[in-house]
Structure 1
Amino acid sequence: MFQKVTLDNNVHILTEDIPHVRSVAVGFFVDVGSRDEDNEVSGVSHFIEHLMFKGTKRRTAKDIAETLDAVGGQLNAFTTKEFTCYYARVLDEYFDLAVDLLSDMFFDSKFELRDIDKERNVILEEIKMYEDAPDELVHDIFAGSMWKSHALGRPIIGTADVIAGISRDKIMDYYHKYYNPAKLTVAVAGNIDHERVISKLRPILEPKQGNPTVRRMITPAPHREVICRSKETEQVHLCIGTPGLKLNDDNIYVFQVTNTILGGGLSSRLFQEIREQRGLVYTVYSYHTSYHDAGLFCVYAGLSKENIDEVMELTLKQVRDIQVNGVNQQELQRAKDQLKGNLLLSLENVNTRMSRLGKSQLYLGKVIPPEEIVALVNKVTADEIQELSRQMLKPENFSLAAIGPWEDCGNLKKILTGLWV
């Protein structure tokens, strides 16, 4: 049972009482992410996320680390392209402690210069680590190939040049602009009563005031481009895809089923055809990412250099087969059951339930019950899949990004581009 209260200062509080568990998950969701940054402060959202753990007026960084550890709880955070989340999971008896810690970090972090400089070095090391993980890095390169010059095409972590030079003043300007109640949603899920949540949060949050800021929603214009990066890796890491759907698109569930059939699991067409039947890869899958006003569909494969042509041909063959011949009822039902199973099993985790509340409020302004989602998935037809695939998965609109051990990237571009003709 979901319940929602909006305070006078526009803070949204959503709760879900799950009486059969002993834990509670609390999330502070800030409606700001890397798409809100310009080039001069690229990576600042993620930088602030780090700095929120460095100390408040009442707690040192060590105190923050130990507060929930001491009671067996968890404290963490993550930054996305459109929001940032700080969250805790504790036994229900320590709910007040978790709220006190999160609100202290959110409103009273000190952002001392010495901590900024120290964390600057930490993030620079994180960027180096990320550069050494081509299977992760290639996805950001792919987004950049499709949405170049747009913030959605830039990496969340930022670039070394910007992180090394960004000043405390710029960090604080960004923090004061976005970290205010008008941008805050609090989600709570677990063994907790709604009224207890409100009675605890209202006196902490409602006195806080801030100026609401409206996101400048500039929809990215997709580009068709091939980008390859030379790196001494054992495998080529390859992403190919096309623009997808925004989160509230009427066809979002049709495309989720389509993605599941194409590359969404061990029984998917790409996994069965490319790995199981031919042994050309260890990893191959597809995914669909949605934002407020745009989306991205991608197929990823990690493969040997000599298998690129064949894997590309097989991938596009499966896309064309869905467009021309559609899908059969057996794989359609299997994909629906897979999506429904993934959804319902994920709801056994209080962190997932909490996250779902917060993200739903940020993106939709409401929470769609699981039963309604299941019904929407069940309504998807083979004809809808075929028609949407024809509209969206046009090879002439595909972009491509690859990282691998080659000398002549220009030749690789020619080979890959030729497969689309």
Structure 2
Amino acid sequence: MDLIQYTLPNGIRCILKRVRSAVAHCALTVNTGSRDELPSEYGLAHLLEHSFFKGTTHRKSYHINCRLENLGGELNAYTTKEETVIHTTTLKSDAAKAVELIADIVFHSVFPQKEIDREKTIIIDEINSYKDTPSERIFDDFEDMVFAGTSLGHNILGKKGSLMKFTRDDLLRFIGRTYNTDQMVFSMIGNISEKRFTELCNRYLGETASHPRTFERDRTDRYVPMTRTLHRSSHQAHCIIGNQAYSLREEKRIPLSLLTNLLGGPSANSLLNLVVRERNGLSYTIEAGFTPLSDTGISTIYFGTDRDKVDLCIELVNNELEKIKRGEISPRLLNMAKKQFIGQMAIAMENNEGYMLSAARNYLYYNRVETIDSIRRKIREVSLDDLTEVAQTVFGGNLSTLIYK
């Protein structure tokens, strides 16, 4: 069924996909993330996400946590570089409770300082845990390199020292500046009628006053490739090779997504997995990733290996990249890669929650959600020349490398 679209007078955009299911998923996606923090606010967007659960004008923290969980449902949230998302999963009969709860914590939170201070200790524990996981930490350090000097070039969690200084007033000031109604998308997927959907949106989200955005995000600075080795106390060595890449608004993101999946996607027959793991036994995990953002993107190749095998792994990766840059992909392999990618995407779209979150992000930036048929067509239209071009651009002589040893 087609997507139902509805915009409230205050500018909040609402989308519904009707499916036959006993379960309903809801989310409020806000176009605000760590990128929107001022230098004195690093870590504030993530602290705010945690603090939404600490009390409203209607509920204590305990009642927020129990509201849906007592019904078998779930309430959760996450923060990225560019978005904050609060999402729920409930039985369809409890969908109204979910919408009301999301609206309550986003628009009526009171942020008790005592609760904020307690939550800071939780985030510090999260920071410590993250520091003990080099396979995750290296991605943040790599982004700091690639986006050095910009609002994208700092960790979402923030630093312990600055985190401890934040107050309730800081949270309220950040909300007042960045939580703009024209930068919000409320999404739902479930067996809900259009009439019921619009009633819920008007009742719980429509009461919020219009508050359009008045600032623009800073542009990314000129990229300077670099190579860096950091010494970490870990058993393995870890390595990331990558570059800035295409944004959400560039059509070349499609062939780069296809190339990324061919190189190091989740399938065991990805090119890098075959050459580095299967043929040479050098790495348990090797993968490629591409994250398009609103005005830029980042493309990465990551692997973990023994300390004395890093150079050999890099050589093997570069050999595969050189073949692709020379156009040495057979028509048969390209056709297989397209079928594989289309199949993976179709299967992923069967996950209703994942589809809802992805659709909301698309609607946030494009004001539309592409159909699976449109996506299939664009993937099928990718040519060998397209793959060669993006490989030469993204994996040319301007790569950065970060190694943990």
TM-score by length of 1: 0.93
Q: CA deviation at 1:203?
A: 2.5
CA distance in 1, matches of 2:200, 2:297: 38
What one-letter code is carried by the residue in structure 1 that aligns with 2:88? A
CA distance in 1, matches of 2:361, 2:42: 23
Alignment of 1:344-363 (within 5 A): 344-363=346-365
Residue in structure 2 matched with residue 124 of structure 1 by the alignment? 124
Residue in structure 2 matched with residue 144 of structure 1 by the alignment? 144
Residue in structure 2 matched with residue 366 of structure 1 by the alignment? 368
Residue in structure 1 matched with residue 11 of structure 2 by the alignment? 10
SS of the aligned residue for 2:164 comes to helix
Partners of 1:285 and 1:299 within 8 A in 2: yes
Residue in structure 1 matched with residue 92 of structure 2 by the alignment? 92
CA distance in 2, matches of 1:211, 1:245: 30
CA distance in 2, matches of 1:175, 1:370: 35
Q: CA deviation at 1:163?
A: 0.7
Q: CA deviation at 1:325?
A: 3.5
Deviations 1:80-134 (A, max 9, x none): 1111000001111111111111111111111011011111111111111111110
Residue in structure 2 matched with residue 340 of structure 1 by the alignment? 342
Residue in structure 1 matched with residue 62 of structure 2 by the alignment? 62
Aligned counterpart for 2:328 among listed residues 322, 326, 329: 326
- 1:384 and 2:383 matched: no
- 1:194 and 2:194 matched: yes
Alignment of 1:292-307 (within 5 A): 292-307=294-309
The answer for unaligned runs of 5 or more in structure 2 is: none
Alignment of 1:22-37 (within 5 A): 22-37=22-37
Q: CA deviation at 1:244?
A: 0.9
Deviations 1:284-305 (A, max 9, x none): 0111111011011100000111
Number of paired residues?
402
Q: CA deviation at 1:214?
A: 4.0
Q: CA deviation at 1:180?
A: 4.0
Q: CA deviation at 1:252?
A: 1.3
Q: CA deviation at 1:371?
A: 1.0
CA distance in 2, matches of 1:241, 1:170: 35
Partners of 1:261 and 1:331 within 8 A in 2: no
Alignment of 1:70-85 (within 5 A): 70-85=70-85
TM-aligned CA distance change 1:163 to 1:44, over 3 Å = same
Deviations 1:183-224 (A, max 9, x none): 321001111112211111112222311431144232212221
Partners of 1:141 and 1:227 within 8 A in 2: no
- 1:253 and 2:261 matched: no
Alignment of 1:397-412 (within 5 A): 397-404=398-405
Structure 1 segments of 4 or more deviating over 4 A? none
What one-letter code is carried by the residue in structure 1 that aligns with 2:240? C
Residue in structure 2 matched with residue 175 of structure 1 by the alignment? 175
SS of the aligned residue for 1:87 comes to strand
TM-aligned CA distance change 1:215 to 1:400, over 3 Å = farther
TM-aligned CA distance change 1:218 to 1:179, over 3 Å = closer
TM-score by length of 2: 0.96
Deviations 1:274-329 (A, max 9, x none): 00000011110111111011011100000111001111111111111101143112
- Shifted more, 7-16 versus 354-363: the winner is 354-363
CA distance in 1, matches of 2:115, 2:350: 38
TM-aligned CA distance change 1:215 to 1:290, over 3 Å = farther
CA distance in 2, matches of 1:357, 1:193: 19
Partners of 2:151 and 2:218 within 8 A in 1: no
CA distance in 1, matches of 2:216, 2:328: 39
CA distance in 1, matches of 2:292, 2:275: 27
CA distance in 2, matches of 1:227, 1:156: 21
CA distance in 2, matches of 1:229, 1:390: 28
Partners of 1:27 and 1:187 within 8 A in 2: yes
What one-letter code is carried by the residue in structure 2 that aligns with 1:211? H
Residue in structure 2 matched with residue 115 of structure 1 by the alignment? 115
Q: CA deviation at 1:170?
A: 1.7
Deviations 1:236-295 (A, max 9, x none): 111111111001212111111111121123211110000000001111011111101101
Partners of 1:257 and 1:332 within 8 A in 2: no
Deviations 1:375-396 (A, max 9, x none): 11111111211122122211x3
Partners of 1:181 and 1:205 within 8 A in 2: no
Residue in structure 1 matched with residue 236 of structure 2 by the alignment? 235
What one-letter code is carried by the residue in structure 1 that aligns with 2:8? L
CA RMSD of aligned residues (A): 1.3
CA distance in 2, matches of 1:54, 1:185: 23
CA distance in 2, matches of 1:38, 1:59: 31
CA distance in 1, matches of 2:303, 2:87: 33
- Shifted more, 269-278 versus 362-371: the winner is 362-371
- 1:270 and 2:272 matched: yes
Alignment of 1:43-62 (within 5 A): 43-62=43-62
CA distance in 1, matches of 2:135, 2:99: 36
Q: CA deviation at 1:172?
A: 1.4
